Amino acid sequence: MSIHYDQIVGDDFAGELCPDAAQIVQSIHDPNAPPVEATDITAAREGHLFAAHDLPLITNGLSVDDRQIEVGGRRIGIRVYTPSGAGPFPILLFAHGGCWTFCSLNSHDRICRFYADVVGCVVVSVDYRMAPEYPFPAALDDFYDALIWCFEHASSLKGDPGRVAVAGDSAGGNLSAAAALRLQSHPKYRLCLQVLLYPICDASALSGGSMERYADGYFFTREVLAWTASLYTKGSDVANPEISPQYATVTPNLAPALFIIAECDILRDQALAYAQKLRAADIKVHCNYYRGVPHAFVAMAGVLDLGKQALQDSVHSLRQAFTQPD
Protein backbone atom coordinates (compact mmCIF):
# COMPACT_ATOMS: atom_id res chain seq x y z
CA MET A 1 0.00 0.00 0.00
CA SER A 2 1.50 3.35 -1.03
CA ILE A 3 0.66 6.04 1.49
CA HIS A 4 1.93 9.56 1.90
CA TYR A 5 2.46 10.26 5.58
CA ASP A 6 2.44 13.93 6.44
CA GLN A 7 4.02 13.18 9.79
CA ILE A 8 5.74 10.08 11.21
CA VAL A 9 6.19 10.40 14.96
CA GLY A 10 8.18 8.31 17.42
CA ASP A 11 11.22 6.06 17.44
CA ASP A 12 11.40 2.90 15.36
CA PHE A 13 10.79 -0.19 17.52
CA ALA A 14 10.53 -2.56 14.54
CA GLY A 15 6.75 -2.55 14.63
CA GLU A 16 6.52 -3.36 18.34
CA LEU A 17 5.28 -1.32 21.28
CA CYS A 18 7.61 1.25 22.76
CA PRO A 19 8.58 0.46 26.39
CA ASP A 20 6.17 2.98 27.93
CA ALA A 21 3.22 1.74 25.86
CA ALA A 22 4.10 -1.89 26.56
CA GLN A 23 4.08 -1.19 30.29
CA ILE A 24 0.65 0.48 30.07
CA VAL A 25 -0.82 -2.37 28.05
CA GLN A 26 0.61 -4.89 30.49
CA SER A 27 -0.88 -3.01 33.45
CA ILE A 28 -4.33 -3.01 31.83
CA HIS A 29 -4.28 -6.71 30.92
CA ASP A 30 -5.66 -9.13 33.52
CA PRO A 31 -4.51 -12.67 32.63
CA ASN A 32 -7.10 -14.17 34.98
CA ALA A 33 -10.09 -12.41 33.47
CA PRO A 34 -12.15 -14.17 30.80
CA PRO A 35 -11.86 -12.72 27.30
CA VAL A 36 -14.22 -9.81 26.82
CA GLU A 37 -15.89 -11.53 23.87
CA ALA A 38 -16.67 -14.54 26.08
CA THR A 39 -18.78 -12.51 28.52
CA ASP A 40 -22.24 -11.01 28.24
CA ILE A 41 -22.51 -7.34 27.36
CA THR A 42 -23.33 -6.20 30.90
CA ALA A 43 -20.27 -7.88 32.38
CA ALA A 44 -18.15 -6.67 29.49
CA ARG A 45 -19.19 -3.08 30.08
CA GLU A 46 -18.49 -3.31 33.79
CA GLY A 47 -15.03 -4.65 33.08
CA HIS A 48 -14.29 -2.21 30.29
CA LEU A 49 -13.84 0.98 32.25
CA PHE A 50 -10.55 2.11 30.72
CA ALA A 51 -10.76 5.86 30.41
CA ALA A 52 -8.43 8.83 30.13
CA HIS A 53 -8.36 9.34 33.89
CA ASP A 54 -4.68 10.20 33.75
CA LEU A 55 -5.33 13.39 31.79
CA PRO A 56 -5.61 16.52 33.94
CA LEU A 57 -9.19 17.35 34.88
CA ILE A 58 -9.75 20.79 33.37
CA THR A 59 -12.44 22.73 35.21
CA ASN A 60 -11.45 26.41 35.32
CA GLY A 61 -13.17 28.53 32.72
CA LEU A 62 -15.33 25.73 31.33
CA SER A 63 -19.08 25.35 31.60
CA VAL A 64 -20.14 21.69 31.40
CA ASP A 65 -23.81 20.98 30.90
CA ASP A 66 -25.70 17.71 30.31
CA ARG A 67 -28.76 18.20 28.11
CA GLN A 68 -31.42 16.30 26.20
CA ILE A 69 -32.28 17.43 22.70
CA GLU A 70 -35.46 16.55 20.80
CA VAL A 71 -34.72 15.21 17.33
CA GLY A 72 -36.93 13.12 15.06
CA GLY A 73 -39.38 12.26 17.83
CA ARG A 74 -36.70 10.98 20.20
CA ARG A 75 -34.41 12.42 22.84
CA ILE A 76 -30.63 12.37 22.46
CA GLY A 77 -28.33 13.06 25.37
CA ILE A 78 -25.46 15.47 24.86
CA ARG A 79 -22.80 16.97 27.11
CA VAL A 80 -21.82 20.52 26.16
CA TYR A 81 -18.43 21.99 27.08
CA THR A 82 -18.34 25.76 26.64
CA PRO A 83 -15.30 28.01 27.10
CA SER A 84 -15.68 31.26 29.00
CA GLY A 85 -16.44 34.32 26.93
CA ALA A 86 -19.13 35.61 24.64
CA GLY A 87 -18.35 33.55 21.55
CA PRO A 88 -19.37 32.65 18.96
CA PHE A 89 -17.03 29.69 19.24
CA PRO A 90 -16.27 26.95 16.75
CA ILE A 91 -18.18 23.70 17.42
CA LEU A 92 -16.65 20.24 17.70
CA LEU A 93 -19.10 17.34 17.77
CA PHE A 94 -17.46 14.36 19.49
CA ALA A 95 -18.29 10.63 19.36
CA HIS A 96 -16.73 8.45 22.05
CA GLY A 97 -15.18 5.13 21.10
CA GLY A 98 -15.88 1.72 22.57
CA CYS A 99 -16.67 -0.59 19.63
CA TRP A 100 -20.23 0.78 19.36
CA THR A 101 -20.98 -1.11 22.60
CA PHE A 102 -18.77 0.26 25.42
CA CYS A 103 -17.77 3.56 27.00
CA SER A 104 -19.81 6.69 27.60
CA LEU A 105 -19.75 10.45 27.96
CA ASN A 106 -17.83 9.93 31.21
CA SER A 107 -15.07 7.75 29.74
CA HIS A 108 -14.13 10.52 27.29
CA ASP A 109 -14.95 13.50 29.49
CA ARG A 110 -11.36 14.62 30.02
CA ILE A 111 -10.51 14.47 26.33
CA CYS A 112 -13.54 16.66 25.57
CA ARG A 113 -12.51 19.10 28.30
CA PHE A 114 -9.04 19.23 26.79
CA TYR A 115 -10.33 20.08 23.33
CA ALA A 116 -12.75 22.71 24.62
CA ASP A 117 -10.05 24.39 26.69
CA VAL A 118 -7.03 24.16 24.39
CA VAL A 119 -8.76 24.66 21.05
CA GLY A 120 -11.20 27.22 22.44
CA CYS A 121 -14.29 25.62 20.97
CA VAL A 122 -17.66 24.35 22.13
CA VAL A 123 -17.46 20.57 22.36
CA VAL A 124 -20.70 18.61 22.08
CA SER A 125 -20.24 14.99 23.14
CA VAL A 126 -23.07 12.73 21.99
CA ASP A 127 -24.57 10.01 24.18
CA TYR A 128 -25.56 7.90 21.20
CA ARG A 129 -27.47 4.63 21.53
CA MET A 130 -25.27 1.56 21.65
CA ALA A 131 -25.45 -2.04 20.51
CA PRO A 132 -26.63 -4.69 21.08
CA GLU A 133 -29.74 -2.99 22.47
CA TYR A 134 -29.71 -0.56 19.55
CA PRO A 135 -27.87 -1.95 16.49
CA PHE A 136 -26.98 -0.06 13.32
CA PRO A 137 -28.04 2.54 12.30
CA ALA A 138 -29.11 3.85 15.75
CA ALA A 139 -25.69 5.19 16.81
CA LEU A 140 -25.07 6.87 13.47
CA ASP A 141 -28.58 8.32 13.33
CA ASP A 142 -28.10 9.83 16.80
CA PHE A 143 -24.70 11.28 15.99
CA TYR A 144 -25.75 12.65 12.60
CA ASP A 145 -29.01 14.10 13.91
CA ALA A 146 -27.11 15.76 16.78
CA LEU A 147 -24.74 17.20 14.16
CA ILE A 148 -27.60 18.74 12.19
CA TRP A 149 -29.10 20.01 15.47
CA CYS A 150 -25.79 21.77 16.23
CA PHE A 151 -25.85 23.51 12.86
CA GLU A 152 -29.45 24.58 13.37
CA HIS A 153 -29.07 25.61 17.03
CA ALA A 154 -25.52 26.94 16.99
CA SER A 155 -26.52 30.27 18.53
CA SER A 156 -27.99 28.52 21.57
CA LEU A 157 -24.57 26.91 22.08
CA LYS A 158 -22.70 30.21 21.66
CA GLY A 159 -21.38 28.52 18.54
CA ASP A 160 -20.65 29.44 14.94
CA PRO A 161 -22.45 27.26 12.34
CA GLY A 162 -19.78 28.17 9.79
CA ARG A 163 -17.07 26.50 11.86
CA VAL A 164 -18.14 22.95 12.73
CA ALA A 165 -16.02 19.80 12.89
CA VAL A 166 -16.52 16.21 13.99
CA ALA A 167 -14.13 13.98 15.92
CA GLY A 168 -14.08 10.53 17.45
CA ASP A 169 -11.86 7.63 18.37
CA SER A 170 -12.18 4.06 17.10
CA ALA A 171 -15.94 3.44 16.73
CA GLY A 172 -16.37 7.16 17.35
CA GLY A 173 -14.04 7.76 14.42
CA ASN A 174 -16.23 5.41 12.40
CA LEU A 175 -19.34 7.43 13.31
CA SER A 176 -17.55 10.70 12.53
CA ALA A 177 -16.46 9.42 9.12
CA ALA A 178 -19.93 8.07 8.33
CA ALA A 179 -21.62 11.29 9.43
CA ALA A 180 -19.24 13.29 7.25
CA LEU A 181 -20.16 11.05 4.31
CA ARG A 182 -23.88 11.60 4.95
CA LEU A 183 -23.34 15.33 5.05
CA GLN A 184 -21.82 15.31 1.55
CA SER A 185 -25.30 15.56 0.05
CA HIS A 186 -26.68 18.18 2.43
CA PRO A 187 -27.78 21.28 0.51
CA LYS A 188 -26.65 23.74 3.18
CA TYR A 189 -24.24 22.48 5.83
CA ARG A 190 -20.55 21.70 5.52
CA LEU A 191 -17.90 20.50 7.95
CA CYS A 192 -14.50 22.14 8.06
CA LEU A 193 -12.72 19.02 9.37
CA GLN A 194 -13.19 15.40 10.43
CA VAL A 195 -10.72 14.22 13.08
CA LEU A 196 -10.44 10.44 12.88
CA LEU A 197 -8.52 8.89 15.76
CA TYR A 198 -7.58 5.30 14.78
CA PRO A 199 -11.02 4.82 13.20
CA ILE A 200 -12.84 1.63 12.24
CA CYS A 201 -13.09 2.04 8.48
CA ASP A 202 -13.91 -1.46 7.28
CA ALA A 203 -15.87 -3.84 9.52
CA SER A 204 -15.53 -6.54 6.88
CA ALA A 205 -11.71 -6.60 7.01
CA LEU A 206 -10.81 -9.04 9.79
CA SER A 207 -7.75 -10.72 8.28
CA GLY A 208 -4.39 -9.91 6.79
CA GLY A 209 -1.76 -7.27 7.48
CA SER A 210 -2.07 -5.38 10.77
CA MET A 211 -5.23 -7.33 11.59
CA GLU A 212 -3.09 -10.47 11.80
CA ARG A 213 0.07 -9.00 13.25
CA TYR A 214 -1.61 -7.20 16.15
CA ALA A 215 -4.54 -9.57 16.61
CA ASP A 216 -3.81 -10.19 20.29
CA GLY A 217 -1.63 -8.70 23.00
CA TYR A 218 -1.81 -5.05 21.94
CA PHE A 219 -4.80 -3.90 24.03
CA PHE A 220 -7.50 -4.08 21.33
CA THR A 221 -7.92 -7.57 19.90
CA ARG A 222 -9.34 -8.87 16.66
CA GLU A 223 -11.75 -11.12 18.57
CA VAL A 224 -13.21 -8.17 20.47
CA LEU A 225 -13.69 -6.26 17.21
CA ALA A 226 -15.35 -9.25 15.54
CA TRP A 227 -17.71 -9.73 18.47
CA THR A 228 -18.73 -6.10 18.89
CA ALA A 229 -19.04 -5.56 15.14
CA SER A 230 -21.48 -8.49 15.00
CA LEU A 231 -23.50 -6.87 17.81
CA TYR A 232 -23.57 -3.54 16.00
CA THR A 233 -24.28 -4.77 12.49
CA LYS A 234 -26.72 -7.50 13.59
CA GLY A 235 -27.51 -8.85 10.13
CA SER A 236 -26.77 -5.69 8.18
CA ASP A 237 -24.33 -5.81 5.30
CA VAL A 238 -20.92 -5.03 6.80
CA ALA A 239 -19.90 -3.54 3.44
CA ASN A 240 -22.61 -0.89 3.81
CA PRO A 241 -20.65 2.38 3.46
CA GLU A 242 -22.31 3.73 6.61
CA ILE A 243 -20.80 0.81 8.53
CA SER A 244 -17.57 0.55 6.52
CA PRO A 245 -16.69 3.96 5.03
CA GLN A 246 -14.03 2.30 2.87
CA TYR A 247 -16.84 1.34 0.47
CA ALA A 248 -18.36 4.81 0.22
CA THR A 249 -18.66 7.00 -2.84
CA VAL A 250 -16.71 10.17 -2.14
CA THR A 251 -17.67 13.54 -3.61
CA PRO A 252 -15.83 16.88 -3.57
CA ASN A 253 -18.18 17.98 -0.77
CA LEU A 254 -16.57 15.61 1.73
CA ALA A 255 -14.82 17.42 4.57
CA PRO A 256 -11.04 17.40 4.89
CA ALA A 257 -9.72 14.73 7.24
CA LEU A 258 -7.04 14.34 9.86
CA PHE A 259 -6.05 10.73 10.52
CA ILE A 260 -4.32 9.82 13.78
CA ILE A 261 -2.99 6.29 13.17
CA ALA A 262 -1.35 3.95 15.68
CA GLU A 263 1.31 1.59 14.37
CA CYS A 264 0.58 -1.37 16.70
CA ASP A 265 -3.15 -1.48 16.04
CA ILE A 266 -5.31 -4.00 14.22
CA LEU A 267 -7.07 -1.03 12.57
CA ARG A 268 -3.88 0.50 11.19
CA ASP A 269 -4.12 -0.80 7.62
CA GLN A 270 -7.79 -0.04 7.11
CA ALA A 271 -7.33 3.51 8.40
CA LEU A 272 -4.43 3.93 5.99
CA ALA A 273 -6.54 2.51 3.17
CA TYR A 274 -9.35 4.98 3.86
CA ALA A 275 -6.88 7.86 4.01
CA GLN A 276 -5.57 6.69 0.63
CA LYS A 277 -9.11 6.52 -0.78
CA LEU A 278 -9.86 10.10 0.26
CA ARG A 279 -6.57 11.40 -1.04
CA ALA A 280 -7.19 9.68 -4.39
CA ALA A 281 -10.55 11.48 -4.53
CA ASP A 282 -8.73 14.82 -4.07
CA ILE A 283 -9.98 15.30 -0.51
CA LYS A 284 -7.55 17.23 1.64
CA VAL A 285 -6.01 14.66 4.01
CA HIS A 286 -3.43 14.97 6.75
CA CYS A 287 -2.20 11.55 7.83
CA ASN A 288 -0.17 11.24 11.05
CA TYR A 289 1.49 7.91 11.87
CA TYR A 290 2.66 7.21 15.45
CA ARG A 291 5.22 4.46 15.93
CA GLY A 292 5.28 2.00 18.79
CA VAL A 293 1.83 2.76 20.19
CA PRO A 294 -1.38 0.70 20.45
CA HIS A 295 -4.99 1.41 19.73
CA ALA A 296 -6.48 3.96 22.18
CA PHE A 297 -3.09 5.57 22.80
CA VAL A 298 -4.62 9.06 22.86
CA ALA A 299 -6.57 8.01 25.95
CA MET A 300 -3.16 7.25 27.51
CA ALA A 301 -1.97 10.82 26.95
CA GLY A 302 -1.55 11.55 30.65
CA VAL A 303 1.26 8.98 30.88
CA LEU A 304 2.29 8.42 27.26
CA ASP A 305 4.22 11.12 25.46
CA LEU A 306 3.02 10.14 21.98
CA GLY A 307 -0.54 10.35 23.25
CA LYS A 308 0.13 13.94 24.29
CA GLN A 309 1.74 14.59 20.92
CA ALA A 310 -1.29 13.23 19.05
CA LEU A 311 -3.64 15.41 21.08
CA GLN A 312 -1.54 18.48 20.34
CA ASP A 313 -1.34 17.56 16.65
CA SER A 314 -5.13 17.31 16.46
CA VAL A 315 -5.44 20.63 18.30
CA HIS A 316 -3.20 22.23 15.66
CA SER A 317 -5.34 20.86 12.82
CA LEU A 318 -8.57 21.96 14.48
CA ARG A 319 -7.26 25.47 15.07
CA GLN A 320 -6.21 25.70 11.44
CA ALA A 321 -9.56 24.44 10.20
CA PHE A 322 -11.51 26.76 12.46
CA THR A 323 -9.41 29.76 11.43
CA GLN A 324 -9.50 29.00 7.72
CA PRO A 325 -12.39 26.59 7.11
CA ASP A 326 -12.44 24.85 3.74
Smallest CA-to-CA distance from 318 within 106, 98, 111 is with: 111
The total number of residues written for the chain in this structure: 326
Catalytic residue among 202, 265, 269, 313: 265
Catalytic residue among 125, 127, 295, 313: 295
User: Is 169 considered catalytic here?
Assistant: no
Q: What are residue 164's phi and psi, to 5 degrees? A: -125, 135
Q: What is the DSSP secondary structure assignment for residue 324, as one 8-state letter?
A: S
CB contact at 8 A, 256 and 284: yes
DSSP 176-236: HHHHHHHHTT-SS---SEEEEES----TT--SSHHHHHTSSSSSS-HHHHHHHHHHHHTTS
User: Is 170 considered catalytic here?
Assistant: yes
Q: Cα separation of 55 and 137, whole Å? A: 32
CB contact at 8 A, 68 and 74: no
User: Is 186 considered catalytic here?
Assistant: no
Catalytic residue among 48, 108, 142, 170: 170
CB contact at 8 A, 189 and 161: yes
| Residues near 260 by beta carbon (within 8 Å), at least 6 away in sequence | 195, 196, 197, 198, 288, 290, 298, 310, 313, 314
Q: Which residues are catalytic?
A: 170, 265, 295
